Amino acid sequence: MKTLFERVFSGNDEMYAKAVAAVDEAMAKLGPNAPATFGDTAYSLPCFYAMTGKKVATVGEAKAALENEVKAFMTRNSRTKDIFTSGVATALSAEIIELMKYAMAGGTPYADPVMGHFTDAQVRELGVPLVTRDIPGVAVIIGAAPTAEEGVELVKEYQSQGIFVTLVGGIIDQCVEKGVKLGFNVRNVALGYDLSSVAHVVSVALRAAFIFGSVQAGDYEGMWRYTMDRVFAFVNAYAPVDDMTVACGAGAIQLGFPVVTNDTEENNMFRVPKSLIIQPDISKFNATSLEARDIKIKITKIDIPVAFSSAFEGEIVRRGDMQVEFDGSRKTGLELVRAKELSEVEDHRFTLIGPDFDQFEVGSKVDFCMIADVAGKNMNSDFESVFERKFHAYINCMEGVMHTGQRDVIRVRISKAAFEAGVRAKHFAEVLYAKLKSDYDAVIDKCEVTIITDPAECEKFRHEVAIPAYDKRDERLGSLTDENVDQFYTCIMCQSFSPSHVCIVTPERLGLCGAVSWLDAKATNELDPSGPCQIVPKDHIIDENIGRWEEVNDAVKKYSQGALESVTLYSIMEDPMTSCGCFECICGIEPFSNGVVIVNREHAGMTPLGMTFSEMASMTGGGVQTPGFMGHGKHFIASKKFMKAEGGLGRIVWMPKALKDQVAEKVNQSAKELYGVENFCDMIGDETITEDAEALLNYLTEKGHPVLGMDPLM
Ligand code: SF4
Ligand code: ZN
């Protein structure tokens, strides 16, 4: 029998030796100057960079990293500390093994269902669901369960709780065998078959420390403290657990991630209180893990025949798998929330007007209206749009159901599998009822749902009720400006990851995540008066042009615990609002044209700044002010307050085409009102025009872009 020290040290040595072999092979085949990168990250070789502050970009540098910094972590004095540093050295060796796979492949070495490396954009995308606890934790499952049934059961259990699942080794094939979907969109990611692929999830945790926590590269203690306090991950390792896995486990424990295994003491496994836990009964892995990492699951029991979980929010239903589709672009397809009097609503009533799903032809497009009438003593018609926007997430969380769009342009697909499991109209009603009542219990006392599928009734409802309701709402929204409301709101939801970040949410500037509008913040405040959205009065204005208020400064000072002194709402140059990391878009100054480039998270390509989204995004974040760079929501682009202090949205010189198309209508409208310019978006460059700064300037000149008449930015 070996001691725990011996197991960790020998596992570390083994992983290190594999890394040396992988580097030597790459050196022989590619040479020392060959590029070595995972691609799509601004953090070099992320785990190594996080722990040492040193960058690695070539095979030769990877070799030096192994021989110097990684080796230095492998101290062997048999103190407890050495177990942990050896664990970290094991993870760093694993990361270099993976890096060599990417170098040898000249791109990704993986193919479906294995994903490997997460992009920075993916890490950022996880920000909002992690802070809202839609994703309450991250599971790392290593090895194969005794049977595929048991393995899949554990995966599904985590998925039903919203836990983000990552898989290493045999469990991947068990999922494939049982037809469990894999991929980032279903939050069930196959990292790789080799143990070294576990480095990809460690990389997510450490990049969270960079992106959201603003922890500096090389701050070893800062890194593990951040992950320990804020990243709710844990490991499940199936027996038999070899030395290398034990060594990786030691690294996990250093980061604050407990390890649960069914391996036994007879088989040389150890127990370490709260960190290394032997659980012989694998059906209890789930409960044991959640308890060990102190993860509490909020469950809304919903009586439907398929699973309901945020894991299915990004699931795609393809045409061939589709039983029936509601398509608001071709037919009537709408959703509506109406605030009513208490006497007008019968709680939990469901009404279906028209045929149910089993009466439609397979693969057909049908008409569909989904209406929730809500009532409550504290109800306010301003909340209608807040609740209605949640339908998208609610309906998407049903396994086998896909929802896109909003208002009267929704599209919903129901898969054959969901239909065969028994999903019918009443289950949509059940989901809306249960979720609205549980999420908004402070204001919704009664809720009833009506679904219409009869084509004539749908058409009638759309014209007589829904469209007038949307129009009325738009009028109200249009009348909401920063000038004519009495208060703004803070949002500090992201502080669980970005401890000093504060968003100030105004009618004309939504939160940078894109998920919190002024109305959302108002609703959040009324639902939970001591919660993340606090009222910011605006009685004392200091400078209207730049958007400086005494009360805003007081609020950011207070809620950033003194980290911030002063924030302006309309400037990117002077005391700009901070970013956490989960912004939808990043905007940065383009010096040649004196304008700004905006990129959305979905855009993977290059920009005229010579930086990708990830690289631009890494310039700001962690609640720190960085003049010249600003994270923001998509809807902010068309706002008349966008960079108002610097001349407004006329500064925008480049956006990816897809983003431009998304915002064109509103941006053109605002530009017309601000500058009297028609079709402003046609003057803005995109990747189909050029990605080069000089060529962009020529294009702007040719088009007579308004930025050319503006003052220099710097
Ligand atoms: Fe985070 Fe700001 Fe969005 Fe609130 S509004 S969730 S603080 S990004
Ligand atoms: Zn955030």
CA distance 19 to 93: 6
- DSSP states of 633-646 as a string? -GGGTT-TTTTGGG
- DSSP states of 531-574 as a string? SS--EEE---EEETTTTEEHHHHHHHHHHTTTS-----SS-SSS
pLDDT reading at 357 higher than 90: yes
Residue 112 DSSP code: T
pLDDT reading at 442 higher than 90: no
Question: Residue 277 Cα, ligand 1 centroid: separation in angstroms?
Answer: 36
Whole-number pLDDT of residue 133: 82
pLDDT digits (tens, 9 = 90+) for 21-74: 999 999 999 999 999 999 999 999 999 999 999 999 999 999 999 999 999 999
pLDDT reading at 299 higher than 80: no
Atom number in ligand 1 closest to CA 512 = 8
Please work out whether the CB of residue 621 comes within 6 Å of at least one atom of ligand 1: no
Question: Residue 153 Cα, ligand 2 centroid: separation in angstroms?
Answer: 32
pLDDT reading at 310 higher than 90: no
All residues at 6 or more sequence positions from 603 whose CB lies less than 8 Å from its CB, including other chains = 613, 656, 658, 659, 687
Per-residue confidence band for 406, with pLDDT thresholds at 50, 70 and 90: confident
Please work out whether the CB of residue 580 comes within 6 Å of at least one atom of ligand 1: yes
- DSSP states of 471-515 as a string? HHHHHHHHH--STT-SEEEEE-GGGGTSTT--EEEBTTB--TTSS
Mean pLDDT computed over 584-608:
95
**448 closest CA partner among 523, 339, 367, 307:** 339
CA distance 283 to 260: 12
Whole-number pLDDT of residue 527: 83
Mean pLDDT computed over 396-401:
95
pLDDT digits (tens, 9 = 90+) for 614-636: 999 998 888 888 999 999 999 99
Which ligand has the shortest distance to the CA of 636? 1
Atom number in ligand 1 closest to CA 532 = 4
CA distance 118 to 519: 34
Per-residue confidence band for 268, with pLDDT thresholds at 50, 70 and 90: very high
Residue 141 DSSP code: E
Q: Which of 503, 519, 585 to mutate to test the pocket of ligand 1 (most atoms within 8 A of CB)?
A: 503
3-state secondary structure string, 519-543? HHHHHHHHHCCCCCCCEEECCCEEE
* Cα dihedral 287→288→293→294 (10° resolution): 50
Per-residue confidence band for 380, with pLDDT thresholds at 50, 70 and 90: confident
Percent of the chain with pLDDT over 70: 100
**633 closest CA partner among 493, 534, 516, 487:** 516
Q: Which of 131, 494, 496 to mutate to test the pocket of ligand 1 (most atoms within 8 A of CB)?
A: 494
Helix axes 285-292, 148-160, angle to 10 degrees: 40
Lowest mean pLDDT among 94-98, 167-171, 379-383, 458-462: 379-383
Mean pLDDT computed over 247-274:
96
Q: Indicate the SS3 state at residue 218.
A: coil
Residue 358 DSSP code: G
pLDDT reading at 148 higher than 80: yes
Question: Residue 237 Cα, ligand 2 centroid: separation in angstroms?
Answer: 32
Mean pLDDT computed over 412-440:
96
Please state, as a whole number, how many other Cβ atoms lie within 10 Å of the Cβ of residue 417. 15
Atom number in ligand 1 closest to CA 495 = 7
Question: Residue 615 Cα, ligand 1 centroid: separation in angstroms?
Answer: 21
pLDDT digits (tens, 9 = 90+) for 656-670: 999 999 999 999 999
CA distance 181 to 174: 11
Q: Omega before 46 cis (within 30°)?
A: no
Atom number in ligand 1 closest to CA 128 = 6
Q: Indicate the SS3 state at residue 414.
A: strand
Residue 647 DSSP code: T
Mean pLDDT of the chain: 95
pLDDT digits (tens, 9 = 90+) for 178-221: 999 999 999 999 999 999 999 999 999 999 999 999 899 999 99
Helix axes 243-254, 4-30, angle to 10 degrees: 100
Please work out whether the CB of residue 133 comes within 6 Å of at least one atom of ligand 1: no
pLDDT reading at 9 higher than 90: yes
Per-residue confidence band for 382, with pLDDT thresholds at 50, 70 and 90: confident
Q: Indicate the SS3 state at residue 396.
A: helix
Handedness of CA 282, 288, 289, 292 (dihedral sign): negative
CA distance 492 to 533: 7
Please work out whether the CB of residue 491 comes within 6 Å of at least one atom of ligand 1: yes
Atom number in ligand 1 closest to CA 131 = 6
Q: How far is CA 97 from CA 19, 26, 193, 217, in A?
A: 5, 10, 13, 21
Mean pLDDT computed over 479-501:
92
**Phi first, then psi: what are they for 614, rounded to 5°?**
-60, -40
Q: Which of 516, 579, 585, 634 to mutate to test the pocket of ligand 1 (most atoms within 8 A of CB)?
A: 516
Whole-number pLDDT of residue 593: 96
